[in-house]
């Protein structure tokens, strides 16, 4: 016996599961945008949002028409545009990071390809580029979020719900578990407070990272096991960057403002290339087996 509300919930859950994964993700990032702006003015100016969204969408439409001969769905550009508007915190008055960041993000999908697949999550590529190439012009979101529990809780609840429906919950959980475990290790090595090492996880940059970047279906690898391994590797590379930060390794200084994003930018494409190569080998093997005389 099921109550009407339970039936409705199951129907909604089922419908969510059949949706193009980009729709619930779009909903989630819109929720973050609306919540963050309403409570904390997270954007710092609607011109930033309009610029990022406008450039991302226009670039997507123009390049898809040019390269593929048809206009692409702009869901991905929408997610990228909002991600950039939320994550990039520029020097006062600068709008070009949103414009150039938006263009580079979307263009990277068409330019930086291997075997017809793009390698970087678009916003991950653009933000990493800006962090490394334009540190005098942009910082990455680390505050502007109120540091309160309610906002965190809402985002985490919806985030977990949605990544589970797009079948990426294992990626999020693997990354978070590895991050916490490695935070303990880092705390032991540095002798610093464990809470300080875990603290970033409760911040806005990580919410965007674990629900949008590391779980991007287009740039993740093909099997659950491999995706779990990649998530763990990202956490491991991030831990190395963080340890270098703790020990003031000057050469890696540019990486310290955004360790997880840079770690994903390093690990993600390598993993994707390996995955595509393995897939190619599998296809060749399968073709060979099919072609072989019985």
Provide the mask over 144-183, with x wherever binding to another protein is found by CB under 8 A and - wherever it is not: xxxxxx--x-------------------------------
Which one among 157, 199, 270, 281 touches another protein, defined by CB under 8 A? 199
Q: How far is the CB of 259 from another protein (least distance, A)?
A: 9
Q: Do the Cβ atoms of 63 and 118 come closer than 8 Å?
A: no
Tell me phi and psi for residue 122, to 5 degrees.
Answer: -55, -50
By CB under 8 A, is residue 47 in contact with another protein? Answer: no
Helix, coil or strand: residue 88: strand
Which residue is it, tokens 């016996």?
A: 1
Q: What is Dmax (Cα atoms) for the chain?
A: 70
Which one among 14, 17, 135, 274 touches another protein, defined by CB under 8 A? 135
Q: Which whole-number Å values give the CA distances from 78 to 30, 94, 122, 131, 290, in the listed order?
A: 9, 21, 11, 21, 42
By CB under 8 A, is residue 54 in contact with another protein? Answer: no
Q: How far is the CB of 223 from another protein (least distance, A)?
A: 31
By CB under 8 A, is residue 96 in contact with another protein? Answer: yes
Distance CA 131, CA 257 (A): 8
Residue of 155, 52, 32 whose CA lies nearest to 94: 52
By CB under 8 A, is residue 107 in contact with another protein? Answer: yes
Q: In the window 55-94, what residues touch another protein (CB under 8 A)?
A: 63, 66-67, 89-94
Give the nearer residue to another protein in terms of CB position, either 75 or 187: 187
Which residue is it, tokens 């991050």?
A: 179
Which one among 27, 58, 61, 203 touches another protein, defined by CB under 8 A? 203
For 270, the token pair is 């390598």
Which one among 141, 163, 171, 234 touches another protein, defined by CB under 8 A? 141
By CB under 8 A, is residue 202 in contact with another protein? Answer: yes
By CB under 8 A, is residue 195 in contact with another protein? Answer: yes
Q: How far is the CB of 230 from another protein (least distance, A)?
A: 24
Helix, coil or strand: residue 126: helix
For 38, the token pair is 């309403």
Which one among 19, 30, 157, 193 touches another protein, defined by CB under 8 A? 193
Q: How far is the CB of 207 from another protein (least distance, A)?
A: 10
Distance CA 83, CA 73 (A): 17
Distance CA 267, CA 269 (A): 6
Distance CA 2, CA 119 (A): 45
Helix, coil or strand: residue 166: coil
Kindly list the residues in this chain that would bind another protein in the complex (CB under 8 A): 40-41, 63, 66-67, 89-94, 96-97, 100-101, 103-104, 107-108, 110-111, 129-131, 133-139, 141-149, 152, 190, 192-193, 195-197, 199-205, 245-246, 248, 250, 253-254, 256-257
């Amino acid at each position: 016996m099921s109550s009407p509300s339970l039936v409705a919930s199951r129907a909604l859950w089922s419908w969510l599961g059949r949706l193009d994964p980009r729709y619930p993700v779009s909903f989630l990032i819109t929720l973050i945008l609306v919540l963050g702006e309403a409570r904390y003015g997270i954007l710092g100016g609607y011109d930033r949002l309009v610029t990022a969204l406008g450039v991302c969408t226009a670039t997507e439409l123009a390049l898809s028409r040019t390269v593929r001969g048809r206009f692409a769905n702009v869901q991905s550009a929408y997610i990228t545009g909002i991600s950039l508007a939320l994550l990039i915190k520029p020097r006062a008055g600068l709008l070009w990071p949103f414009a150039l960041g938006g263009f580079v993000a979307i263009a990277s999908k068409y330019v930086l390809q291997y075997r017809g697949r793009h390698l970087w999550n678009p916003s991950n590529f653009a933000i990493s580029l800006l962090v490394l190439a334009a540190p005098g012009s942009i910082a990455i979101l680390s505050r502007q979020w109120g540091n309160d529990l309610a906002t965190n809780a809402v985002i985490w609840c919806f985030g977990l719900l949605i990544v589970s429906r797009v079948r990426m919950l294992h990626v999020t959980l693997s990354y978070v578990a590895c991050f916490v475990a490695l935070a303990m290790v880092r705390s032991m090595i540095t002798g610093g407070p464990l809470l300080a090492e875990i603290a970033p996880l409760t911040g806005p940059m990580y919410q965007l990272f674990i629900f949008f970047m590391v779980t991007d279906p287009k740039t993740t690898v093909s099997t659950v096991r491999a995706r779990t391994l990649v998530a763990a590797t990202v956490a491991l590379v991030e831990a190395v960057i963080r340890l270098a930060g703790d020990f003031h390794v000057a050469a890696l200084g540019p990486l310290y403002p955004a360790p997880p994003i840079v770690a994903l930018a390093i690990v993600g494409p390598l993993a994707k290339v390996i995955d595509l190569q393995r897939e190619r080998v599998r296809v060749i093997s399968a073709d060979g087996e099919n072609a072989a005389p019985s």
